[in-house]
Amino acid sequence: MPKTKPTKPRNNFPLFAHQNGQWAKKIRGKLHYFGPWNAPETAEKKYLDAREYLQAGRRAPSPESDGCRLRELCNRFLTSKQSLLDSGEISSLTFYDYRRSCELMIDHFGKDAAIEDLTTGDFEAYRNSLATSRGIVTLGNEINRARIVFKYAYDAALIDRPLRFGQTFRRPSKKSLRIHRQRQQQQHGKRMFEAKELRTIIEAATQPMRAMILLGINGGLGASELAGLPRSAVEIDSGWIEYPRP
């Protein structure tokens, strides 16, 4: 290694010669190293490959890793869920949630992130990112779906060992949910309609919304169950509904 720092190969060369013998670049306040002084072309290529990830605050994928990438995992996972959707085993809403979760993970980790390279620190950072814009219940649901996707990677033999998620990348505890629910009730009251309010809503509603409101009140049908209610389940003459809810 030469004792004096080399000059840049050209004026617009994006890296500088660091005193430790490597070409370097400061990105988001942190120094990153891309290779020795005697290999500027290799260092520049390594920088260009990693630049998008580092500028976004993400860890660049390891070029030495030839394992499953996140884009492949998400494609395989969603293909398997599409089959369940086609056979009626999951709802379109469930499939949409899975697809949206895959998009969120790709936005955070990058589509070329090597699955086996992800660490507990990566998952902790992802959780912190989710928590900035989501309530505690939605956060828990998103974490649960992410864990399902990464568990699929091992179950489908896309990786050789299960991933370690760490202590924090899990659903909020029941105690946390209970405290959150109590705090919400103190601030906004209980989320329920009184009989007088319901009568006002029913009177103002037009069909088919009125029918859905009445089914929700009297039959306990939720939004997704109403959306999937087949016409054959309704006995017009008797007024009864025969519908085994999932």
Strands 22-27 and 30-36 turn out to be antiparallel
The per-residue pLDDT for range 83-131, each reduced to its tens digit, is 999 998 988 889 999 999 999 999 998 888 889 889 898 999 999 999 9
Domains of the chain: 16-55 (no CATH), 70-188 (1.10.150), 195-233 (no CATH)
Query: Based on C-alpha coordinates, what's the Rg of the chain?
Result: 26
The structure's pTM equals 0.64
Q: Residue 5: what pLDDT?
A: 87
The confidence score (pLDDT) of residue 1 equals: 47
Whole-angstrom distance, CA of residue 17 vs CA of residue 12: 14
What integer pLDDT is reported at residue 25 of this predicted model? 92
CA–CA dist 224, 229 (Å, integer): 9
* End-to-end CA separation in angstroms for the chain: 69
* Owner of token pair 């580092």: 54
Q: Is the pLDDT of residue 183 over 50?
A: yes
Q: Model confidence over 150-173: pLDDT tens digits?
A: 999 999 999 999 999 999 999 888
Whole-number pLDDT of residue 129: 92
The Cα–Cα gap between 104 and 126 comes to: 10
- Amino acid identity of 83? S
Q: In sequence order, which residues have a C-beta less than 8 Å from that of residue 109 and are 6 or more positions away?
A: 58, 70, 118, 122, 126
Is residue 95 within 8 Å of 81, Cβ to Cβ?
yes
